[in-house]
Every structure is written in structure tokens, then in C-alpha cells.
Amino acid sequence: MDNDLKTDDAALNLEYPWYGPAELPFFWHARLSTQVYTAILAVTVALLLWLLIPGFLLGWVPLLNETAAKVLVVAVGTLAVAIPVSALVAPKITKERPISYWFQVLQDELEAPRKARLTERTPQGFLVLPEVAWNPRVNGQTKAMTTNIIGLDYQEGQ
Amino acid sequence: MKNPLRRIRKNLATDATESTATKVKRRDNGQLAARAVYRNLIAADTGVWALYTLENVPWEGLDATDRQRVMSSWNQTLYELSSRGRIGVRLRGVPVPFPLHDFCVSVDQSTQARRIAAAGVDTVEEYAETVEGQAFAADMLRVQDYVHRHQTRKRSTVLEVRVSPRKMPRGMSDLQLVASPDRIEGPYGKLEDLRLELRRINKIITGSPDGFVAPNAEPVGRPMTPKTIGWLIHAAVGMGMPVPTATLAGPRAGWDSDEVAGFTNLVEASQAPLAPTTELHTRRVVDHVVTTEDGRSIVRSDLDTLTSHVCVLHARGFQDRSTAEVANRALLPYLHHLSTLPFDVDFIAAGELIPPDEMETQASRVTSVAEDLGEHRAEHGMRVDVRQGDAVRNAMEYEDSVRRARPGDATRFRGVVMAAVTGATEAEVMESKVPQLVSDTRRNARYELVVQAGQYASYRAFIPGEPVNLKGSVTQQRLPVLAAAVPHVDTTFGDRTGMVLGPIAGSRDLAILDPHGGPAAGVSGVILNAGQQGSGKTTFLSSLAAYSAGTLAVRTVFSDPSGATERLIQEVPTLAKHGRVADLASAGSAQGSMSPSVLIPEPDRAMFKDDDEHEAAVESAKAERRQTLLDAFLLKLPPALGESARDSLIVAVQTSYGEYQQSPWEAIAALEKDKSDAGRHAAALLASDANSLGMRQLMPARMANGAPDRLATDLGTELFTILKLTGINPPAANLDRKDWDESNKAAMLLLYLSTRAATRAMYADKSKSTVLIDEVAMQFSASFAGFAARVSADSRKWNGCVAFSTQNPHTLHGMAPQITNLAGSVFIGTMKSKEAALAGLDLLGVSRDDAAFTQTLLSRRPGHWLARDWTGRVAYLGQSKDLFSPELAEATKTDPIDRSAHIEVEYEGVENR
């Protein structure tokens, strides 16, 4: 049977791994964009480590001065964080669910109203409904009416 | 320190493919994006949307070619929408409560006058005290109870089209300008483009730029009204909760205790972190009638809290399918499938229609990625495996389909497809409904539904005008793929008012049959009913009789040769009061009571436009009387009598018979004067046979002085009459006519005449009447085709419902070659043999090639019908005995073994042991 009803999803969700130069392939199979995200993550982690780790604590490292020791620790720490994190996250980020989707989900989850807050009756989480006092027949005639309800202007058409 | 997330949020607060839209910031205070509603337009933060309810399209009764035609026409509509460039669309399926109030009111109003007159009282108050009044009230309550217990729903499909991605700064007043028929000039001239775009969309969907549907037009959809849009917003916001009557379509007056009374309070939505459902709460005022200690009835209002859990699932992994599979019903259309589940499923397909020229760059990129990939693998010394080959082929096919296909096929829908399931508790949703939905979807529609995080935002997407997250789980489909999802398949059956039959397969709607819906719709009022023994024919006809005589209070004649339905009069009080049983075969039946000259009444001049037409009808009635008498005489005469005797008989009947109330003895007298011996011999044979069974009913006593007597009959004048024929011996179906003995001939003659006698009730006047004929057996008569054709045409003119029932659909085929055209409605029950099932399909007018239909008819489920209604819709439905009154259920019990008694006996045996 001719499967003429095909979605484009297979073609569009084509993974695009970057293998690196032929002599130096990447360590694991990952999408190009994931590798870019890994690089960004690595730089961020390195920066944080550099800022957070006080250099004088590393003075005891033999054969290295403070700065060199700090560079070494930051490099090792960066790899130790970035590689497992990206290896764990990489399979989740696909063409079908790109990183922007995950940020959107994170945002949705953070913004979703919580039950605990509802009990305090804050505006959060209340869907303000068009409260229509629907009474279109007045003295036997249909009354064109506009009810300004919170957020929704409602009018019967002509 | 600034919250880094805030910046990220700010950057991501735009929908991916709604990028041309004004940036929509999600609201934290739960306020809806919809700002103003005018006619069918919504001004929302996501742009201006025009909403239409799609007209349902027939599906079940069509053959594969016609189903393909439905898909292409839907494809064409979607293509036309996108012909000017990218356009946002949403297809939204929503379950709609069964309009119980409208139904009960319409049944009451349409039958009230007749019921009161039949009960012999003057006022509604008096009627309520009568047996009939109480039975009617009980019937209505039974329907309400059934609708509640079975959660009956209809389904509506809404098409939302984005007229403009821009936000309307002045809401309502802008909408009024955009909807105006006149050109916009002056300071608001920039809205003119929007107005023209709306008119274009209106033209495509409704057939008219103004959005008004012409009376005889067949539009794709109809514009929604503010009232229905309000209803849709309520139904989406309080998903899974009762919807307010205030915004339901239809009158509200007098229906304060409606079971679909809605919430009047705000809806509180909440979602636990990463929870699979969104929890909704609201309150509504419920009125209870309570009796106080001193015996007074007072209305007490309570605040009732309602809770609903909504789980939204995203569709992904659409497997390849073919148009043929969908057209042959091997696969369900993938959006329609979501309406076939036994619980409420809302769905939405939201996204954009993108013309092919906007996709060319993307298509080239996909191909180059695929090719690059192959090169890289080769560079790394890796073999290009099958998957890789597939990827390259897919990419090239994709590019080809964008560049070279016809624009209608190459246009894409890019968006998300979501389904929402609701329940009272999270466990009910996640442990029962969602697994069933997921597995049914995989099996019947071949795609996956998955639960994702961010449930609250997904639930919001079902509300008109709200932003939809199009960043993930996006599917891109050519228009033919989306067209094959056919969300608006017609799953209704029957009429708006009438007898409630039972559930319709593949939907949650109820089948309703108005016995006189045929004449009302301008088609024949004939119902053909066929099914093997025990398939539920007699039960079907009995329920129709009880509804017709009891609820509708119209003149009803039930021709039931076996007399088994006599119990209707014995058991059902309303029928007992107005009914009688006429045994046409008994020795006591009046002689000549079924003579053709009284069975075929004289046409009334008042019923015809002019004298010529009346004259033609009078002549036609005469011809039919002659033909009926001839059929009867020829049946009784021995086949060996010879041609000359037949010719003499024909001449005698033709020349001397035909007047209304004329005695058949005049025809015999003419035959006695025939010149030939054979003719006189035939006359002598008939005269000598005049007192036998069958002939006695045909021939009155011969007057001694030879003067013609005028015949009369009172058959069919009561509100309810059962015609029975006890003690007759019909021939076996496969017995050749020349082998019939006298008793067989008498039986066939009586069956033939009783059919005529039953239809007589229709001709009394032009008010509604119902004629039910069980066990049709008229294969011996050549004139029956003419009779069937006349009844078919007359049933429309005379406002009659005529049901023919038989075990063998071939019998009905034998009635007239074009019987399918003569029938207004057809009910085919379970069949034993494939041949009979195929003959049944021919009666229904559906394709013999559809194996699913044949299997359905062979499935041996009594009380289930593959049926065609007055408007030609085909559905498989069950007749539910839950809707019968206890008396009717008792009267239609045909099972010889009383199972309940049987079980009791067994238990007693165990106890004694």
C-alpha cells in the first residue's frame, strides 16, 4: 500500500551530529547544538569556579604557583561538571524538543499557579471568566447588550 | 542581584512559529488573552481570531471513493485559507452536552395537543393526572436518567482562523470596524486590509464574504456567535465541569433545574510542580427543594464545590499511513478518533498553514544536512547504514514535495496536536482514561500521545485566543495529512426530536428516530426493517408502535400475523385504553371486511389541487382495486386452469370492477356471463370457494336478489389497532408456488390483504399516522412493486410512517427494483448469511465492498442496527431497553426462558443442598 500520508517530521527531526575532524572525533555521539551548549556551559562553570575558588587555598600544591594550580583545578572542575551534565542533558535535547522548548517548560512550571497560593486567594491562578449576566430578552425584544466584565468586552452582534 | 531567569523568560516569551505575532507575555494573574468578542471575532493578545463551527461531514455511509472526496474537499478549504500566505489556524474539538432540555420541550410541545385530546381531557393539569400523562412524564424522566448515566455528548468542531497576528489596540471598536461590510477610510484606514482578509476567510468558510450562510448553501462552517463563543470559553476554562446553561445555545426559560447548570464563580486552576494534571476548582449555586417540619416546601440554595483534573497529552510519532487506509476505515481519521472514546476528550490542532514558497529554503537546508551527514560518515570511515539512507531519502522526498508538488499538496501545517482528558480525581484520569486513550490511539490512529511537563500552560492553550507553545512536539504535515484527520465527521444519527433508540457506535450521542421525520424532510416515510429471527425486529416495531400511539398519540396500525405483540395491549396501560386487536383470520371476522374495494379508499377531492389531479387519483385507485382483486383470484385458482380462463377473468374484473365499496361478486357475475366455458368454469370455482379462509375476508355474503351491496370497514380507525392472523400456514420461503397447498394460498392471500388493510389507516386524513407491517410476505404478487411505490410516494403526501419488516432482505428487494429509493429510512439487523448481509447493505445503499459493514451485520448482536436515517446518514446503533417503560419491556420480552427465574431456581437448589 502506498503510504502517501507522511509527515515531514522524520526529515525535519534529522539529527546533525558533528564528528569533528576525521582524526579527532568527538567523545560521544551528540548533536552539534548540544556540543555548543556544552561549550557554553563549560565556560560558565569555569568562570564561576574561577570566581568562587580563592587562590590562596591552592598554595600548598607542590611544583605549581597559585595561579597555575587554580587553572588546573578550574579546568578539572569544569570538565567534571560540564561533561556529565551535558552527557545527561544531551539526549533530552532533540530536534523535536529543542533547548528553547525546555526553557519554555521550565518557565511554564515556574509560572504555574500552586494550590498553596490559591488558599490565600491571591490573584495568581484565578482564571477571570467572562461572567455574562445573560438575559437577552427584555420585554419580548432581544436586547443588544454590552457587559464589561473583567478583561472581556462582550457584545451581542447585530 | 537581578534574577537571571527573568532575562531568559523575557527572551522566550514569544511563540516560536507565531513569531510574526505581537510578543505575547504570559499573564501571571490568570487573566485570559481574549479581550473582546464581537460576532464571531475575538480580539486577543495573540491577534484577531475568527471562529467558525464546522459543518459535520458524512463518513460512515460513504464508500472509499466518496471518503477520499471528503478529504480532498477539506484539503482544498485549508489550501484556500493559506493561498495568501502564512495563516494561523486552530482546530478545536469539544464535547457538547446533549440538549436534554430542548429535546424534552420539543417532544412535549409537538405532541401535547394530540396527547391531551387522546386522553379525553381539556387542560394540561388534568392530563397530568391521567394514566397517559403519568406515562409520558415517566418516559421523559427515563430519557433524562439515561442521558445522565451514560454521559451522553454531542461533538462540535471549531475552526479558529487568525485574521491578523497583531493585537487590536482598541478592542471592541476595532472589531466592529473590521466586521463592517463597508470600506474603512480615514484615520482607521489601516484596518481595511484586515477587513478584506476577514471577508476572504468568510467567503472560503461560509460561502459569503459577509459571513451569512444562505438558506440552501452548503458551507464548510458557520460563524460562531458571541453566545457560543462564551460557551466555548466556559467549556475550555472549566474543562470537565458542567457548562452554564446561561451561555448554552437554546432557550432557557422554564428550565431552572437543568442538569447542566454551570458554575457561576471563578475557576481556580492549580498545578503541583511537574504534576501530570492541572487541578480546577469552582463553585456553583445548587437549589434544593426541602420540606420543612411544618410540611412546607422551600428552596434552599447551597454552594456546591466542583473539582476537575485535566491532563493534556501531546501527539507525536505520526506513523506513515495511506489515503486508502483512512478511506477504507482500516485507520480512523486521527482527530476524529479522539471523539470516538467512551469519555470526554477535547482536542486542539494549533499552528500555521505555510505556503510552499516559504518552505523552500528550509527544504534545501534539510537536504544539505542529510547529504552532509552522509559525507561526514564517509569521511570517518563509517558505512552509510539503512537509517542514514532513509534519512537522506526522506530529506530529498521532502524537498521534492515542497518544490514540485501541486501547491494544494505542498502547503504545510506546522503546529502541535493536543488532547485533553478530564476526571474527578487524578487517579481516575491517569490510571484509567489516559492509558486507554494512549493505547486506542496507537492502535486505531497510529500515533503516540505523551504527557509532558508544563500542564497548566498546555491546558490554557485550549482556551480561544490563548497563546500556544509551539516550541516543542511540533509536527509538520502536508495538507493531505491534516485533511485525513477529518475532525468533523458526522457521528449523529436521526432527528432532533422523536423516539430515543439508544447509543450510536463511535460516538457518545443518542440515536433519535422521529417516525414522521421522512415526510417532514420531504422524503418517503417508508422504513425498511430486516434482520434474522431474534434480531430485534418485533421489539423495534413494538417500541415504534408504543411511541407512536402512546407518546405521539397518532393513529397506529400494527400488522403482526403471529399476534405475539397482542401483549402490548395487555401489558401497556396507555395502549390498553385506546387499542384493540382485530383477528382477520378468525371465523368471527366480518365477511368481506378486506375486500379491495374498501381497503383502497376513494381519494378525497379536498386533498388535490384540481379536478384533473383528483380524477387521475380516482382512476389510479380503481386500477389498484382491480389489480388487487385479480391477484387474489389468480392466487386461488388452480394453475392448471389455462390461459383462456385467466384472460376471461382479467376482462371480467377490468370491465366490471373498481368502484369504491363495490362488491367483488359483480366481477364474478360478469365472469359467469363469459362466452367461454373456461371463464364460466373459473367463475364457478371462485363462487364455490367463497367461504374458505381468505376468500371469506375478500368476499361479502352474496345477496340473494343479486343486488350489489355496499361494503364498509372500520379497520384502522382507532388510535391503536393490532391486526393479527391466527392459525394461518404460510408456505416455507423456498417452496415453489405451484407446490403451495390451499392453506398456504389462504395464508398468503390473508397476508397480502392485511398489508393493504394496514396501510388503509394512512389514507383516512392527512394527519400523522403510523403503519407497521411485520413479516412482509408478498413475493407472489406482481402488483406489489406498484403498491410499494405508491405507499412510498403517498406516505410523504399523507404524512404517514410505513414500516415493512422481514427476515429476508431479498423479499424487500423483490418488492420493487428501486426499493432503496422508495425507502426513507432503513434498519438492518444481524444476519446469518453473508448473502443476506450483502442484500441488507444494498438496501442501505452502502458499498458491498466495505468488509467492516458485512462483519458488523454478521456479528450476531440482537437489537443492534446498521441504519440509514431520513437524511441519508448511516450509523451502527443499539436499541437500549433501558429506555423502555417496564410494561413495554415486559411486553417485548420474547425470550421463552425467563432467565431471572431460572437463576433463582438454581440458587434454591444450592440452598437446599
DSSP secondary structure string for all residues of B71-118: HHHHHHHHHHHTTTS-EEEEEEEEEEE--HHHHHHHHHHHHHHHHHHH
| C-beta neighbour count of B790 within 10 angstroms | 16
Flag if A14 and B395 touch (Cβ within 8 Å): yes
CA distance B520 to B351: 42
- The minimum CA-CA distance between B498 and chain A, rounded to whole Å, is 29
The CA–CA distances, whole Å, from A65 to A72, A74, B228 equal 11, 14, 77
Flag if B471 and A100 touch (Cβ within 8 Å): yes
Flag if B380 and A100 touch (Cβ within 8 Å): no
Q: Which of B31, B457, B471 sits opposite A151 (nearest CB)?
A: B31
Task: Give the closest residue to B93 by CA, choosing from B308, B284, B239, B303.
Answer: B239
Write down the pLDDT at residue B18.
42
Write down the pLDDT at residue A59.
63
Residue pointed to by grid coordinates 473539582: B307
CA distance B404 to B145: 58
**Under-50 pLDDT residues of chain B:** 1-24, 26-28, 245-262, 707, 779, 897-913
Write down the pLDDT at residue B246.
43
Amino acid at B147: V
Residue pointed to by grid coordinates 572542575: A77
Contact between B41 and B179 under an 8 Å Cβ cutoff? The reply is yes
Q: What are phi and psi of A48, to 5 degrees?
A: -60, -45
Write down the pLDDT at residue B539.
92
CA distance B125 to B123: 5
Write down the pLDDT at residue B259.
31
pLDDT above 80 for A134:
no
Query: Scanning every residue of chain B, which has its alpha carbon at the shortest distance from the alpha carbon of A114?
Result: B270
Task: Give the closest residue to B830 by CA, choosing from B859, B868, B867, B869.
Answer: B859
Q: What is the mean pLDDT of chain A?
A: 69
Cα-Cα-Cα-Cα dihedral sign, residues B489, B493, B494, B499: negative
Contacts of A5 in chain B (CB under 8 A): 320-323, 326, 478, 480-481, 484
Q: What are phi and psi of A91, to 5 degrees?
A: -65, -25
CA distance B636 to B619: 26
- Residue B489: DSSP 8-state: B
Write down the pLDDT at residue B733.
66
Contact between B375 and B340 under an 8 Å Cβ cutoff? The reply is no
- The minimum CA-CA distance between B141 and chain A, rounded to whole Å, is 28
Contacts of A14 in chain B (CB under 8 A): 366, 369-370, 373, 391, 394-395
Q: Which of B34, B227, B473 sits opposite A152 (nearest CB)?
A: B34
Write down the pLDDT at residue A22.
60
The pTM for the full model equals 0.82
Interface mutation vs chain B, best among A1, A6, A118, A138, most B CBs within 10 Å: A6
Alpha helices by DSSP H, listed for B469-604, are: 479-483, 517-520, 537-546, 566-571, 573-578, 596-599
B223 strand-pairing partners: B52
Q: Which of B34, B252, B412 sits opposite A8 (nearest CB)?
A: B412
Query: Scanning every residue of chain A, which has its alpha carbon at the shortest distance from the alpha carbon of B41?
Result: A157
Flag if B32 and A131 touch (Cβ within 8 Å): no
- The minimum CA-CA distance between A78 and chain B, rounded to whole Å, is 21
Task: Give the closest residue to A124 by CA, choosing from B26, B10, B23.
Answer: B26
Q: How confident is the model at residue A66 (pLDDT cuts 50, 70, 90)?
A: confident
Write down the pLDDT at residue B265.
60
Flag if A6 and B480 touch (Cβ within 8 Å): no
Contacts of A126 in chain B (CB under 8 A): 29-30, 266-269
Q: Which of A6, A19, A105 sits opposite B376 (nearest CB)?
A: A19
| Mean pLDDT, rounded, for A68-79 | 87
Q: How many residues does chain A have?
A: 158
Q: Which of A97, A115, A152 sits opposite B37 (nearest CB)?
A: A152
CB of A134 within 8 Å of a chain B CB? The answer is yes
Write down the pLDDT at residue B96.
86
Contact between B514 and B494 under an 8 Å Cβ cutoff? The reply is yes
When comparing pLDDT for B904 and A59, which is higher?
Answer: A59
Does the structure's ipTM exceed the value 0.90? no
CA distance B12 to B419: 24
CA distance B514 to B552: 10
Flag if A124 and B230 touch (Cβ within 8 Å): no
| C-beta neighbour count of B746 within 10 angstroms | 26
Task: Give the closest residue to B845 by CA, choosing from B804, B812, B801, B800.
Answer: B812
CA distance B210 to B95: 28
Task: Give the closest residue to B799 by CA, choosing from B753, B758, B761, B754.
Answer: B761
CB of A51 within 8 Å of a chain B CB? The answer is no
CB of A10 within 8 Å of a chain B CB? The answer is yes
Q: What 3-state DSSP class applies to B369?
A: helix
Cell of B679: 371463464
Of A38-47, A136-145, B378-387, B874-883, the one with minimum mean pLDDT is: A136-145
Q: Which of B230, B325, B453 sits opposite A130 (nearest CB)?
A: B230
Instruction: Please name the helix (run of DSSP H) or strand (run of DSSP E) that holds residue B620, with its range, or none.
Output: helix B611-636
The CA–CA distances, whole Å, from B491 to B59, B72, B484, B488, B841 equal 8, 20, 16, 9, 19
Q: What is the CA radius of gyration of chain A?
A: 29
Contacts of B373 in chain A (CB under 8 A): 14, 16-17
Angle (deg, nearest 10), helices B643-656 and B665-672: 130
Q: What are phi and psi of B82, to 5 degrees?
A: -95, 5
- The minimum CA-CA distance between A68 and chain B, rounded to whole Å, is 31
When comparing pLDDT for A108 and B903, which is higher?
Answer: A108
Contacts of A148 in chain B (CB under 8 A): none
A70: Cα within 13 Å, side-chain hemisphere: 16
Task: Give the closest residue to B43 by CA, choosing from A10, A90, A153, A51.
Answer: A153
Contacts of A104 in chain B (CB under 8 A): 12, 454, 457, 469, 471-472
CA distance B383 to B360: 30
* Strands B297-316, B278-291: pairing kind: antiparallel
Contacts of B227 in chain A (CB under 8 A): 134, 156
Flag if B473 and A97 touch (Cβ within 8 Å): yes
CA distance B861 to B776: 22
pLDDT above 80 for A149:
no
Contact between B741 and B776 under an 8 Å Cβ cutoff? The reply is no
Query: Scanning every residue of chain A, which has its alpha carbon at the shortest distance from the alpha carbon of B245?
Result: A134
Q: Which of B8, B266, B322 sits opposite A3 (nearest CB)?
A: B322
